[in-house]
Chains A and B, each alone.
Chain A
Amino acid sequence: MQSAVHWALLGLVIERPSYGYELAHRFEHAYDGMLQLSGFSYVYTALDTLLCRGMIEEISGTRTGRQPKPRYRATAEGVRSYQERLIAQMREDFRRSRLFARQLAVFAQEPEIALDVIERYGQACLEEAGETPVLAPAGPCADPVSGLAARLVSEERRLAMGARLPWIDYARREFKALAAGRIQPR
């Protein structure tokens, strides 16, 4: 199951068992700026896929009454698969970062171009970090779930940008040295 949207939906079900329409709403709010639903009805298609693969199940007794609104919860298999997926994604991120570094190195003979890329990258990181909201410390009545999510995301953003800045510093130095002709590319 490749689709990021499917996994994200499973995540929401794990967070809190819900019915379809509610999940669509929650999706917009939870993954704003990170993922997008192609349309409201897509949720139902995705839910069917998750059901087929045994990742979620219907909560019995919720499909009754004149307007059935079945609620779904994650299965043990679903939770386990979600965990594995998170870990796999992490490795994928690492791989992509390494790829970026390797791709930048193609400019060894034209360091000025690399420096230009580095400048934009650096500026983008600073802006990304700058856009990270400063969160008010959690008050006593704050919703623990959304508060936690907001803080984790915010912190990830800040620290990730912060981790990139020293690398940018380093890459800049390397290319400047090349530009100055002080060392030959090995």
Chain B
Amino acid sequence: MLALDGVVKHYRGAGEEVRAVDGVSLRVEQGEMIALLGPSGSGKTTLLLLIAALLQPEQGVVRYDGRDLSSLSENQVSDYLLRDVGFIYQNYHLMPRVSAIENASIKLLLGGVGMRKAQARATPWLQRVGLGDSFERTPGELSGGERQRVAIARALTGEPRLILADEPTGNLDSARSEQIVALLHSIAHERGAAVLIATHDAEAAAIADRRCTLRDGRLHDGRRDGELPKALTLRSPALERRAPNAQGEPSGAL
């Protein structure tokens, strides 16, 4: 469903150039949940933004269902963001004067669904994240953890096929974190959505089907057991950016 090939994105920060994403190739199939691990500043957020077409890569290609995202028109990109992608932002980005149920319904509203129907469709998601009795509250009346859950419900409303989560459990206690991660995992499996979750939390990552580590802009694939395959540790820089192999395993250099 999602294919990245040699994607590169730089930033210019304080006079020097930072390679936030430095030649990343990745395949994601539907029904998969992938945990993206790595220290802060390792480029995880940038990678998610590139996949969501909120940023354009300088080199390389991001393909969704075979189509190169940078070749899409403005309208097509808007549609992609609205219907195919559910993005859970690290800073929630909720509209401040608007209730939880209205925040959660926003994607459907923008897609032309009427207010009543949109809210009806958003309701079960708010319930599933445990905010069933906070529909009318505005973000100002919710705690940090509750706001984060509204943001999660918002991303899931509309049943997107690709869910991108940037530290979705940062503000949640361990019980809630587990619940949310389990929810995301079940969505991947029940509905065949692809879920990419950027996280610090190794335990949250344990439940994922696959783990990848992003370090200094480079992606390292992990097996289910969390070990780096031995072959990868021996690769020389000269072999970097090789095309992915037939099984679609991501390649990367150390």
Chain A–chain B contact at Cβ < 8 A = no
